[in-house]
Amino acid sequence: MTRFLSGRTPATNSEAFERALAVTPGGVNSPVRAFRSVGGTPVFLASGRGPYVTDIEGTEYVDLVGQWGPALLGHAHPDVIAAAHAAVDRGLGFGAASTGEVELAELVIDRLTLTGPDGIERRGIEKLRLVSTGTEATMTAIRLARGATGRPLLVKFAGHYHGHSDSLLSEAGSGIATLGIPGSAGITAETAAQTIVIPYNDEDAVAAVFAAHGDRIAAVITEAAAANMGVVPPKPGFNKLLADTAHAHGALLISDEVMTGFRSTAAGWWGLEEREGTPYDADLTTFGKIIGGGLPLAGLGGRTELLDLLAPLGPVYQAGTLSGNPVAVATGAAMLGGAGPEVYEHLPRAARAIGDGLSAALTAEGVEHVVAWAGSQFSIFFRADAPQNYAEAQDQATWRFGPFFHAMLEHGVSLPPSVYEAWFVSAAHDDTAIGRVLAAAVPAARAAAAARPAVP
């Protein structure tokens, strides 16, 4: 555990939280960590190894948060840690070009070059600009789309989360959904008016928004498969419909693969749809999480003629002191390098074992629920059928989740502390870890069955 320089190192989760509350808003540096929707005291984690994390009190949990995505190979994978150490030994960063950035870009572009069932080679992206967070990647994608098209409007889907930049917080998922708020204060009406929010998986809404505003829309942005309102995959062919409709109107499709990139398949959700015979052409694709292997790194990819509109070649400005940091690119390259075909075979198997086992436990207790899937990502909804959009995702017995979550935690399983977040497995989730999750599922299902809605 980190020792405080003051010597007053907190010994328990509640002491740490009390002291955090005094110095940090809500005691956390990102809202979904705060346990607001599930109640209780957040656990303060001290270390992680493989599928496990350990808190400052020494309690070990099977981790299904996975750093919210990056921990594809599990925590502290020896090769990733070794790559980070080696990079640290060379210096923490230089603010100058370094070859690790080239290596990572080549690795990513290579992963997104696929030969389809028709024998034709398709390239998901041709160039990559590295930034530090997913928020920066989507923010830059929007600026680039506006710069390329000379148009002002952006279309997004209710319940999708793309980071916390001003244009993207209307009816967003993730923490905005968890806190049950419509958006954020501090965003001007003029900015909000430039984002049009429509329901997900709704072909008619897509047609209508383009019919009404088609010549003013710069881009439609979508999570490649939505996973910030719980997991809500696109209908088959929906991403292609978005690409085709946008292109017919001279607009761009921004596919947000911050969550799904390098997770759904080696080539992300785009690769999964290529394989399943519904290929689509995204103009810009955003990456985050796994690309940095656990350190702050993200990226924006696309066709050369679009990416070359970025400074220094083009008129769209974007920059970053820490962009392409050498330690982060080394860690990201090691994470990607370690994720071979066996990892992509293991993830859905592990996820299925957990999802099906949980479902069986809930069914045994008579709890209405559905496990929703997008590749190896899944989440539980306390409703009868898998939702197609945000309104349906919200229409569930959310009050069952808090007791379910706390019973899992008490029995040694760390879940995302919100019913609206996806669960993450890793290559390190072996039969032992899965067995521990399934053992915890029995009392957790009982707690969900015993839960009652709060009396208003």
Ligand X SMILES: Cc1ncc(COP(=O)(O)O)c(C=O)c1O
Q: How far is the CB of 220 from ligand X (least distance, A)?
A: 15
Out of 228, 325, 394, 426, point to the residue binding ligand X (CB under 6 A). 228
| Interface with ligand X, residue 134, by CB under 6 A | yes
- Do residues 11 and 56 make contact, with C-beta atoms less than 8 angstroms apart? yes
Instruction: Single out the residue of 224, 252, 260, 439 nearest to residue 344, CA to CA.
Output: 260
Does position 288 interact with ligand X (CB under 6 A)? The reply is yes
Nearest CB to ligand X, comparing residues 33 and 400: 33
Stretch that binds ligand X, among 129-137, 204-212, 394-402, 443-451 (CB under 6 A): 129-137
Shortest spacing between CB 270 and ligand X, in angstroms: 14
**What DSSP element (H or E) covers 414?**
strand 413-414
Indicate whether 131 belongs to the interface with ligand X (CB under 6 A): no
Binding characters for ligand X, 163-182, by CB under 6 A (x = yes): x----------x--------
Please state the closest distance from residue 445 (CB atom) to ligand X, in A: 28
User: What type of residue is 204?
Assistant: D
Q: Is the dihedral of CA 425, 428, 434, 436 positive or negative?
A: negative
Phi-psi region at 76: left, alpha or beta (left = phi > 0; alpha = psi -120 to 50): left
Token duo for residue 126: 């041709």
Number of residues that bind ligand X (CB under 6 A): 16
- Which one of the listed residues 55, 63, 256, 283 is annotated catalytic? 256
- CB 298 to ligand X: min, Å: 6
Q: Which stretch binds ligand X (CB under 6 A): 94-102, 160-168, 321-329, 427-435?
A: 160-168
**CA-to-CA distance for 421 and 310, rounded, in angstroms?**
33
Which position among 13, 37, 54, 138 is part of the footprint of ligand X (CB under 6 A)?
Answer: 138
Phi-psi region of 45 (alpha: psi -120 to 50; beta: other; left: phi over 0): beta
Count CB neighbours of 312 within 10 A: 6
The first and second tokens of residue 262, run together, are 């390098």
Residue 256 a catalytic site member: yes
Closer to ligand X at the Cβ: 288 or 357? 288
With H, G, I as helix, E, B as strand and everything else as coil, classify residue 114: strand
Among 434, 423, 416, CA closest to 371: 423
CB 418, min distance to ligand X, A = 12
- 166: annotated active-site residue: no
Which one of 13, 37, 67, 133 is in contact with ligand X (CB under 6 A)?
Answer: 133
Nearer to ligand X, 297 or 316 (CB): 297
Q: Residue 109 has which token pair?
A: 């572009």
Nearer to ligand X, 44 or 161 (CB): 161
Question: How deeply is 286 buried, as exposed, middle or buried, from its count of CB atoms within 10 A (0-12, 13-18, 19+)?
Answer: buried
- Our CB check for ligand X shows the closer of 284 and 407 to be 284
Q: What is the DSSP letter of 2?
A: P
Sites of contact with ligand X (CB under 6 A): 68, 133-135, 138, 161-163, 174, 223, 228, 256, 258-259, 288, 298
Just list the catalytic residues.
161, 256, 289
